[in-house]
Amino acid sequence: MRVTHRILSLAGRVAPSSVSGVVLCLTAGLAQAQEGGAAARRGADLYAVHCATCHGSEATGEGPMAGALSIRPSDLTALALAEGGVFPVQRVVRRIDGTDPLVAHGSAMPVYGPFFEGAGRMLRLPDGGQIMTTQPIVDLLAYLETLQSK
């Protein structure tokens, strides 16, 4: 409510086009936040089906199959922490879809690309670059980002 009053009080002192621009930016930000929440919920469902068996329901690498694996599954809650607080979008996308050369040539993690096929979607990286992926992987990323330890 306070933000709305502040915007309205500015409206009398600022050009209408500037106020429209501010409202448009706020609306776009709200829509993006809502989509991010929906993506994270879809990602949580995908995680439960495809990832929790090894990485665990808490994503710490303690899944029911972890003890049977020769290499311990990664703690997915510490991905950003290991990268100085920046979630490693490109590395995670490439691990999941199998385009990471290390995974493609054999690793403890299965290549899940075929499970997450779909229409291409451009995703912006933290450094400003872009990577092409699919909506299911975007959803998984959104969920994993919510799990990052501070």
CA distances from 139 to 32, 45, 64, 121, 142 (A): 13, 9, 23, 11, 5
Q: In this structure, is residue 129 part of a structural domain?
A: yes
Let me know if residue 94 belongs to a domain.
yes
- Is the pTM of the predicted complex or chain greater than 0.85? no
Q: Determine the pLDDT at residue 15.
A: 57
CA 132 – CA 42 distance, rounded (Å): 19
In a domain, 7, yes or no: no
For the chain, the domain total comes to 1
35 lies in a domain? no
pLDDT exceeds 50 at position 3: no
Asked if residues 94 and 100 have their Cβ atoms less than 8 Å apart, the reply is: yes
Residue 26 lies in a domain: no
pLDDT of residue 26: 39
**139: confidence class by pLDDT, cuts 50, 70, 90:** very high
Domain that includes residue 122, residue range: 40-146
Quote the CA–CA distance of 35 and 43 in Å, as a whole number: 12
Asked if residue 21 is part of any domain, the answer here is: no
pLDDT tens profile 58-93: 999 999 999 998 888 999 999 999 999 999 999 999
